[in-house]
């Protein structure tokens, strides 16, 4: 598994569904560079079980991301048409109707491979034929990308393990705190808590209060 933290986020242009209904042809995270923080997350597949709980949870907290100048973008290896159909399906029928943030189509698997979250790989058999081993789906990878296009945080869950949207908001708060004040964030830091200076004295002062 590649560690992308501290590196430029892989660039792509592909189909995506935006605003819950519109298929666009050349969607790219690079369009946000210089203006927005990006929460880019992968999920295994449309029309499954854990996935709609995550996508709807992100939608329910979308205002909190917007207040932090952050956009949310989802992605899976399904086609744009599959995304569109899922977005038109009511929640009580297993759909995600009402989700408005972009959902990227990675039907060619190239984006999942670039972010190293694909649960399988292309290889060759004993006859030299190209085959795919594993599952052509993405693990639950998530990448926080800053306004310069640099990955600052990543986490990858196995497919049965849903993520905490509140934890992602906490990490955005921590990143923005360090950018604004130049201090670092200790364990379990939340917005409104004190930071600490990255010095021996700063650490000692912080620990003495615990």
53 shares a domain with 27: yes
156 shares a domain with 204: no
| pLDDT higher than threshold 70 for residue 199 | yes
Does the annotation mark 185 as catalytic? no
Supply the pLDDT for residue 198: 76
195 shares a domain with 97: no
106 shares a domain with 34: yes
Supply the pLDDT for residue 210: 66
Number of domains observed in the structure of the chain = 2
Domain range enclosing 194: 164-210
Q: What DSSP character marks residue 100?
A: -
Q: Pull the structure tokens for residue 117.
A: 């979250």
Span 52-73, pLDDT tens digits: 999 999 999 999 999 999 999 9
The pTM (predicted TM-score) of the whole model is: 0.94
53 shares a domain with 155: yes
Catalytic residue among 4, 9, 17, 51: 51
20 or 203: whose pLDDT is higher? 20
Supply the pLDDT for residue 197: 86
Strands 103-105 and 14-18: antiparallel
Residue with tokens 């594993």: 134
Q: What SS3 class is residue 202? A: helix
Give the span between the Cα atoms of 70 and 36, in whole angstroms.
5
Q: Pull the structure tokens for residue 139.
A: 């693990």
Q: Which of 163, 180, 202 is the last residue of a domain?
A: 163
Q: Are 40 and 155 in contact (CB under 8 A)?
A: no
């Amino acid at each position: 598994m590649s560690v992308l933290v501290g590196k430029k986020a892989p660039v792509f242009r592909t189909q995506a569904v935006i605003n819950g209904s519109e298929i666009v042809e050349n969607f790219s995270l690079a369009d946000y560079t210089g203006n927005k923080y990006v929460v880019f997350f992968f999920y295994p597949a449309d029309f499954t079980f854990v996935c709609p709980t995550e996508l709807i949870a992100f939608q329910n907290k979308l205002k909190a991301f917007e207040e932090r100048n952050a956009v949310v973008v989802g992605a899976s290896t399904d086609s744009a048409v599959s995304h569109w159909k899922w977005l038109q399906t009511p929640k009580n029928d297993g759909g995600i109707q009402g989700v408005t943030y972009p959902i990227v189509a990675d039907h060619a698997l190239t984006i999942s491979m670039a972010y190293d979250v694909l649960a399988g790989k292309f290889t060759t058999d004993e006859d030299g034929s190209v085959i795919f081993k594993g599952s052509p789906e993405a693990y639950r990878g998530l990448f926080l990308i800053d306004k310069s296009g640099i990955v600052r945080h990543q986490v990858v869950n196995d497919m049965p393990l849903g993520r905490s949207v509140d934890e992602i908001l906490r990490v955005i708060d921590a990143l923005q705190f360090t950018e604004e004040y130049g201090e670092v964030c200790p364990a379990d830091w939340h917005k409104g808590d004190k930071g600490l200076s990255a010095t021996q004295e700063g650490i000692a002062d912080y620990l003495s209060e615990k």
